Amino acid sequence: MKLIFKSTEFPTYIEEFLPFLDRDIKYIYMKPHIISAQKEIVKVIGSETFALAIKAFESEEITALENDILYHFRMPILLYAYKLYAPSSDLRHGNNGRKMTKKEDESNPFEWMINRDNENLERGYYREFDNLIFFLNKFNVWQQSDTYKKMRSLFVHSTTIFDDHFPVNSRLLLLKLEPGLKQAERKHIHPIIGQQLFLKLKAYLQQSEVQDLEYYPGEAPELNGEGEVDTITLEPLEEEVLKLTEEACVYFSMAWAMKRLKVTLFPEGLLQSYVGDRNTNKARKTPENLETQLVAQEFTKDGEDVLILIQNKIAELNVDNQQEVTNMEDFHLRTEVQHNDDDKSFTV
C-alpha cells in the first residue's frame, strides 16, 4: 500500500499532528499501525477518493491545496495509528514477559486515566475523520464515489437534515448510519406512503444542487449545452410528509444504531460509559445491554409516533381515506403491512 508519509519527516509529523507525544518515537514502530489506519480510511471513503492524497503526496512542488489535502488525510490516520500503538507501548516486552518500567521522575498512571485517555483518542479520531469528510464535500471525486451516492440517495442524506430532528453534527456517524437509514425507508416508510409518492419524494431530493466543486487533480468538464431539466415541485402536504419521513428515519436509524455501533461515535451524554476514580477496570461501567435496549426502545417509540402523523397526512392526500389513526395498534391493523426480509418485498 502506498503511504502518504515519509520516514525521514516523521519527527515533523509528530510535532505538527501529535504534539503531546515524545519526539523520539520511531517511525518503524508506528508504521504497521499507520498502514492499518490508512486502510480504515480507504475502506470508508473509497480508493478513488483516497487517490486525492496519493496525488498530492507525489507532487514535486506541493501547492497550498495539496498541502491542505495532505493535512486533512494525515490527521485522522496518525491519531488512529497512535490509538493502536499506545496499548502495546504501555509495557516493556522482554524475554521474561511483560514488565512495567518507571523512571525516577515519572509515575505510572491509574487505569482509569488510561481508559479515559483511550476514549479521548478515539473521540479525537472520529472528530478528525468527520473534518476530513467535511473537507471532501467540495471535491467532485468524492461526490462521484459510491459511498457518497449511496448516502445521497437517502431521505436523510446530510447532517443538516439529521440535526433538525436529533443533533449529532457528525458526518462520519451519518455514514455509519446509512444501513439503518436504508432499513427505515424499506420497512417503515415505503409501505405507508406508497410507491408513487416514495419515488416522487426521492426524485425531488435528487435534484442537482449548485455547488462550487474542486476537480483536482483533473479539470472541470465543459458544459454540454443540454436543455434544462423539468423541476419537481411538491404540494404543501407532500412537503409535510417529506419532513415527517426524515424525522421517522432519524429515530428508527438511531434505534438500529444502539445495538450495533460504538458508544464513542455518539454525542457525549446520549449513552455514555461511566469511568470511576479507582485504578481498576472494575471501576469502569460500560453501557449494559439493558440500557442500550431501553434507549433503542425510546427511539423506536418516537419513530412510531411520527408514523402515525405520516399516515394522517397521507389520509389528507387521499380523499377516500378519512379515518384518523389514533394509535399504533389501529395503524398496524389498517395498513396490514407485510415485510419479507429475504426478497425485500412489501404487501400493503
Give domain status of residue 221, yes or no.
Answer: no
Higher local confidence (pLDDT), 273 or 253: 253
Domain count, the chain: 2
Same domain, 280 and 342: yes
Of 126-130, 226-230, 284-288, which one has max mean pLDDT? 126-130
Helix (H, G, I), strand (E, B) or coil at 339: strand
Do 74 and 170 belong together in one domain? Answer: no
Residue 222 included in any domain: no
pLDDT of residue 299: 93
Residues 121 and 159 in one domain: no
Model pLDDT, residue 345: 44
pLDDT at 323: 45
If asked whether residues 133 and 254 sit together in one domain, one would say no
Write down the residue that cell numbers 478513488 correspond to.
Answer: 48
List, in sequence order, every beta strand (DSSP E) within 152-282: 274-275
> Coil, strand, or helix at residue 285?
strand
Same domain flag for 164 and 303: yes
Quickly list DSSP for 42-89: HHHH-HHHHHHHHHHHH-SS--HHHHHHHHHHHHHHHHHHHHHHHHHH
Q: Is the pLDDT of residue 157 over 70?
A: yes
What's the whole-model pTM score?
Answer: 0.76
Name the band, by pLDDT with cuts 50, 70 and 90, for residue 283. Answer: very low
Is the pLDDT at 235 greater than 60, yes or no?
Answer: yes
Q: Angle at Cα 134 formed by Cα 133 and Cα 140, nearest 5°?
A: 80
Predicted local confidence at residue 20, as pLDDT: 87
Residues 140 and 167 in one domain: no
Give me the domain span that covers residue 294. Answer: 153-206+231-347
Is there a domain that residue 212 lies in?
A: no
- What pLDDT sits at residue 273? 40
pLDDT band, very low/low/confident/very high, at 207 (cuts 50, 70, 90): confident
266 within a domain of the structure (yes/no): yes
The verdict on 163 and 141 lying in the same domain is: no
Establish if 41 belongs to a structural domain.
yes
- 86 with 157, same domain: the answer is no
Task: Considering only CA atoms, give the Rg of the chain.
Answer: 25
For the segment 169-180, the average pLDDT, to the nearest whole number, is: 92
Domain check: are 163 and 309 in the same one?
A: yes
Q: What is the mean pLDDT of residues 138-158?
A: 92
Percent share of the chain, pLDDT over 70 = 74
Q: Which of 166, 185, 85, 69 is nearest to 125 (CA)?
A: 85
Residue 228: predicted pLDDT: 55
Residues 132 and 179 in one domain: no
- Whether the per-residue pLDDT at 209 is higher than 70: the answer is no
Question: What is the rounded average pLDDT of the residues 285-292?
Answer: 61
198 or 272, greater pLDDT: 198
* 196 and 130 within one domain: no
Judged against a pLDDT cut of 60, whether residue 180 lies above it is answered with: yes
Rounded CA-CA distance 205/64 in Å is 34
Would you say residue 219 lies in a domain? Answer: no
If you search the block for the grid coordinates 449513552, which residue do you land on? 271
pLDDT at 239: 94
C-alpha cell at 34: 499507520
68 in a domain, yes or no?
Answer: yes
pLDDT of residue 277: 43
Is 109 or 309 the better-scoring residue by pLDDT? 309
**What's the pLDDT band for 291 if we cut at 50, 70, 90?**
confident
- Lowest mean pLDDT across 135-139, 319-323, 331-335: 319-323
Task: Put residue 46 in one of left, alpha, beta given phi > 0 → left and psi -120 to 50 → alpha.
Answer: left
Q: What is the pLDDT of residue 23?
A: 79
Question: Per this entry, what is the length of the chain?
Answer: 348
- Strands (DSSP E) along the chain, which ranges? 92-94, 97-99, 274-275, 284-285, 338-340, 345-347
Mean of the per-residue pLDDT values of the chain:
81
CA 236 to chain centre: 31
State percent of the chain over pLDDT 90: 50
Please check whether residue 220 lies inside any domain of the structure: no
Hey, what's the torsion of the CAs at 137, 58, 77, 212, to 10 degrees?
A: -10
Mean pLDDT of 168-185: 93
Grid cell for residue 86:
499506545
Domain check: are 300 and 255 in the same one? yes
For 324, what's the count of Cα atoms within 13 Å in the CB-facing half-sphere? 2
Peptide bond just before 11 cis, omega within 30 deg? no
